[in-house]
Amino acid sequence: MDDAIRTERLTKYYGGRKVVDHLDLRIPKGTVYGLLGRNGAGKSTTLKMLTGMVRPDYGRIELLGEDVETLSPETRARIAYLAEGHPLYTSMTIRQAIAFTTSFYPNADRPFVEMILDHFALSPKAKIGRLSKGQRAQVSLALALAPDPELLILDDPTLGLDTNVRRDFLESMIQIIQRRGRTILFSSHVLGDVERVADRVGVMIDGVLRVDCPVEQFKSSVRKVVAEFGHEPPEVPPCPGLLSDWRVGTRRELVFVGYGPRQRAAVEALSPRRIEVVELNLEDAFIEYTRGPRRPLPIFTQFQSDIQGGSADESIGVEGAA
């Protein structure tokens, strides 16, 4: 299958900090890809590099089979980009923004844009500067879809929207996109959205793409194991795939990537009274996968010490399993 997006060893430094580290990404045409990561993980920088807004220090990018460095206007016309925060010209009315945007695309589907705006109940006479964040996001989406793009790159499109608007925005996006079968790469902090929309996810941690697989595969590979001991739980020896180990009273909460027979044997060797393997949704899987060693807030530790006479939870994190 052809790739809509392909990057090779994509690297970007800001000052001395490596924000994107040798990113190799391949997104086949027709895929809805959710790029996940904590703040500062390098998602926005990656998307900006893909659209040519930020120049990589190293590596190359191909969009729809063309190098981004020499991307022709014709190919760029087949790609839509929704930047974070939905920057639009606030002095324009929606009608002016549509006229401005569609003037660059000879095949722009203006009635389709008007249909989307109608769906969102937005008046073309409204000034963009007076719209709410949610309405601005809707206008951005409508404008992005005007040229009927083959590839959509959306940088946190639902950021700052309230739950209802977000749901509405996402439903509309899904309908529009699925009907037209386009490739979408989007980043988001709202994992529920990603779970509902994406076929595949990528997880970036400190600029490195640690996960690149179908959503279901990611969810099924991260497992939380709760081992109940009924007494002071024993220390857990190092085990392949163990991401984190958290003591909560008389039980241990262990997070594994790839919980197989070897990991099960390691947990059973501790002789717990009860073992529970918890299936995680995408949000929980992502949190467990990316959070690293757990540390209670200092104020919480102090609070627990005051109540329990100094038996606050301890944390043992195992790095590098990811």
Partner 1 sequence: MRALAWKELREVLGITAIALACYLALAVNAMGARVFDWVPAMPAGTHGVPFLEANFTWFFTFISVVFAAALGFRQSAWESSRGTFLFLLHRPLRRETIFFVKLATGAGVLLICASLPIVLYGAWAAVPGHHASPFEWSMTASTWRLTFLLPLLYLGAFLSGQRPARWFGTRLLPLVASILCLALLSWVSWWWSVGFPLTLLLYVLLTANVCFVGQSRDYA
Q: What is the DSSP string of 33-89?
A: EEEEE-TTSSHHHHHHHHTTSS--SEEEEEETTEEGGG--HHHHTTEEEE-TT----
Footprint of partner 1 on 52-71 (CB under 8 A): 52-55
Give the C-alpha separation, 124 to 147, whole Å.
18
Number of residues that bind partner 1 (CB under 8 A): 28
Strands 66-67 and 222-228: unpaired
Q: Is 104 in the site for partner 1 (CB under 8 A)?
A: yes
Out of 30, 66, 77, 229, the only residue in the binding site for partner 1 (CB under 8 A) is 77
CB of 79 vs partner 1, minimal distance in Å: 8
Q: Closest CB to partner 1 among 50 and 191?
A: 50
Identify the burial level of 87 via C-beta atoms within 10 angstroms of its C-beta, where 0-12 means exposed, 13-18 middle and 19 or more buried. Answer: exposed
Q: Is 135 in the site for partner 1 (CB under 8 A)?
A: no
Q: Closest CB to partner 1 among 25 and 151?
A: 151
CB of 50 vs partner 1, minimal distance in Å: 11
Q: Is 281 in the site for partner 1 (CB under 8 A)?
A: no
Q: Is 274 in the site for partner 1 (CB under 8 A)?
A: no
CB of 147 vs partner 1, minimal distance in Å: 8
The pattern of x and - marking residues 6 through 25 that bind partner 1 according to CB under 8 A reads --------x-----------
Identify whether the C-beta of residue 3 lies closer than 8 Å to the C-beta of residue 50: no
CB of 179 vs partner 1, minimal distance in Å: 23
Out of 15, 73, 261, 320, the only residue in the binding site for partner 1 (CB under 8 A) is 73
Which two structure tokens, joined as six digits, stand for 30? 């027709």
CB of 125 vs partner 1, minimal distance in Å: 16
Per 3-state DSSP, what percentage of the chain is helix, strand, and coil (rounded to 5)? 35, 30, 35
CB of 110 vs partner 1, minimal distance in Å: 13
Using alpha carbons only, give the angle 113, 118, 120 rounded to the nearest 5 degrees. Answer: 100
CB proximity list for 13: less than 8 A, separation 6 or greater: 19, 57
Give the C-alpha separation, 276 to 279, whole Å.
10
Q: Closest CB to partner 1 among 116 and 255?
A: 116
The pattern of x and - marking residues 32 through 51 that bind partner 1 according to CB under 8 A reads -------------x--x--x
Q: Closest CB to partner 1 among 21 and 212?
A: 21
The pattern of x and - marking residues 167 through 206 that bind partner 1 according to CB under 8 A reads ----------------------------------------
Pairs from 155-158 (Cβ < 8 Å, separation ≥ 24): 155/43, 155/44, 155/47, 155/48, 155/81, 155/82, 155/83, 155/84, 155/186, 155/187, 156/43, 156/44, 156/84, 156/186, 156/187, 156/188, 156/189, 157/82, 157/86, 157/186, 157/188, 158/188, 158/190, 158/193
Q: Is 126 in the site for partner 1 (CB under 8 A)?
A: no
Give 201's strand partners: 34, 213
> Which of the ranges 97-105, 119-127, 233-241, 271-279 carries the binding residues for partner 1, by CB under 8 A?
97-105
Q: Is 248 in the site for partner 1 (CB under 8 A)?
A: no
Cβ atoms < 10 Å from Cβ of 191: 19
Residues that bind partner 1 (CB under 8 A): 14, 45, 48, 51-55, 73-74, 76-77, 79, 81, 83, 85, 87-92, 99-101, 103-105
